[in-house]
Structure 1
Amino acid sequence: MVSLKVVETKSGFWYFGWFLLLLLCFVAVAFLGWQWGVVNKGYFETEIAQLQQNNQELKQQVAELSANSLNLDSREKIAQASVQQVSDDMGELQQKNNLLEKELTFYRSIMAPELDQAGLTIESLELSPVSPQEFDVVITLTQVKKQDWYLKGQLKADIEGEIDGKISKISLQSVVQEENWSNDFSFRYFQKMRARVLLPEGFTPSLIKLMAVTTDKKQKTEREFPWKLTENL
């Protein structure tokens, strides 16, 4: 016995209907998307404009902060420079004050009659380096005010030290650079005897011995100083 199977066939109108339906759905979705874009276009444009404005404001704030930072840095540098200048000025004034005090003490020692010091005196020795073996030397001789006559005489100075590990002694006059330098003195209250000396290569000075004698041999004084450099002459 033969069974029969019925096959349902769809017409072209059925397929065309489904195609038309899908096309209408696509058009509807596209239209809704377009409408959504139109409705929200102004919103996004406003948001973009606001973000651009915020970005511009932030850039301006960064620029202002950078300028303020530079100003603060400049002010700090100026303040530091001012503090350093004031410190330098104070140091210079203090140095000048110390020199004035030293000069005042020096003149008081000459002019004050109540002091026990009398007659010819070797007051001080000052040494200032010019080069490793070259020095400026200042020797100050004094007499107090109660003896106000002129003193005349000669100064003898010997520099002691070592050369090649051996103790050696050099006459100051033999190493003085000035051709017309004289060890003669003549003063009423004080005299500073200045000389520039050039020590032999390899000679290391340790002390200087001084002796001043008046021409009439009535006054004689001796004093020795360590070879110690001073800041100011």
Structure 2
Amino acid sequence: MIDSRLIVRRERPLRSFLLALLVVNLLAAAGYMAYVSGRDTLAEEYTATRDERDGLRIDIHVLQQANTALRARAAVLERTEQIQRRAYGDVDEKLKLLQDEILALKEELAFYRGIAVTANKERALDVRSFEIKRDGDERAYRYRLVLTRVTKSDKVISGAVNLSVVGKQGGRQTTYSVIDLSNSSASELTYRLKYFQRLEGRITLPEGFVPQRVDVQVKAAQKGQAAIDKTFYWPTTG
């Protein structure tokens, strides 16, 4: 038999509304708490990041100041080193000049001593010495010829000097004039002296030429004076 009784349920709209409102409030509260928590976390992170940034800025400023100070010190040290190098260079140059001057004075003294020794032997003209030394370049040389005259006369004498470099080139005997080797515009070497005179110059030997000796001929312009001929062998260390 079928039960035909009806079940009647009463709706409670207020209860449902309150329940929904409660759920909404709970969700809102949870969202707000999450917002507040996130905001506080972000604020803390922002503060920490800002403090770190400010600290880095201070460190950068300190490092920049230190770098500027180091650059200034490096510039001072470099300038000091330049001054010292220049001073040392000046000292070396002055020392070299003094040494050259002392050497020249010693040679001058030896020269005058040589004249004093032969002062009792009157000689119209003589070749006192001849030197030739390498001058930097492999084939460049500097020569110096010293002419002397020991006499009671005060007259000045003059004349010409022929310097010839004799050697081997291509297996054959070859002779070059010093005038040609020095690229001088003068046609010959001349002298004019009362007691002594130095003749100096620079020559460049031709490629493949091996020097052996230098022939010196001194001719006087005055009549009655014979020419002087001397030979100087090429220095093995030059």
Give the alignment's TM-score, normalised by structure 1. 0.59
Q: Residue 87 of structure 1 corresponds to which residue in structure 2?
A: 92
Q: Residue 146 of structure 2 corresponds to which residue in structure 1?
A: 140
Q: Residue 53 of structure 1 corresponds to which residue in structure 2?
A: 58
- Structure 2 residue 233 is matched with structure 1 residue 226: yes
Can you list the C-alpha shifts for 1:150-169, whole angstroms capped at 9, x where unaligned? 79898776643234422245
CA shift, 1:178, in A, is 4.0
Can you list the C-alpha shifts for 1:46-97, whole angstroms capped at 9, x where unaligned? 6644443332222222222122222222222222222222212212221222
- Structure 2 residue 202 is matched with structure 1 residue 206: no
CA distance in structure 1 between the aligned counterparts of 2:30 and 2:203, rounded to whole angstroms: 116
2:179, 2:188 within 8 Å by CA — same for their partners in 1? no
CA distance in structure 1 between the aligned counterparts of 2:32 and 2:180, rounded to whole angstroms: 121
Percentage identity across paired residues of the two chains = 20
From 66, 72, 88, the counterpart of 1:67: 72
From 22, 26, 30, the counterpart of 1:21: 26
Amino acid paired to 1:79: Q
Tell which has more relative contact order, 1 or 2 (C-alpha 8 A, sep 6+): 1
The 3 A distance-change label for structure 1 pair 169 and 65 is closer
Can you list the C-alpha shifts for 1:168-210, whole angstroms capped at 9, x where unaligned? 4578899996457668x875x4344679999999865421234
The 3 A distance-change label for structure 1 pair 225 and 29 is same
Q: Residue 190 of structure 1 corresponds to which residue in structure 2?
A: 196
The 3 A distance-change label for structure 1 pair 160 and 30 is closer
From 158, 163, 168, the counterpart of 1:162: 168
Amino acid paired to 1:225: F
Amino acid paired to 2:215: K
Q: Give the unaligned 5+ runs of structure 1.
A: 1-10
CA shift, 1:125, in A, is 1.6
From 98, 107, 110, the counterpart of 2:103: 98
- Structure 2 residue 114 is matched with structure 1 residue 109: yes
CA distance in structure 2 between the aligned counterparts of 1:171 and 1:223, rounded to whole angstroms: 15
1:209, 1:224 within 8 Å by CA — same for their partners in 2? yes
CA distance in structure 1 between the aligned counterparts of 2:219 and 2:141, rounded to whole angstroms: 25
The 3 A distance-change label for structure 1 pair 156 and 148 is farther
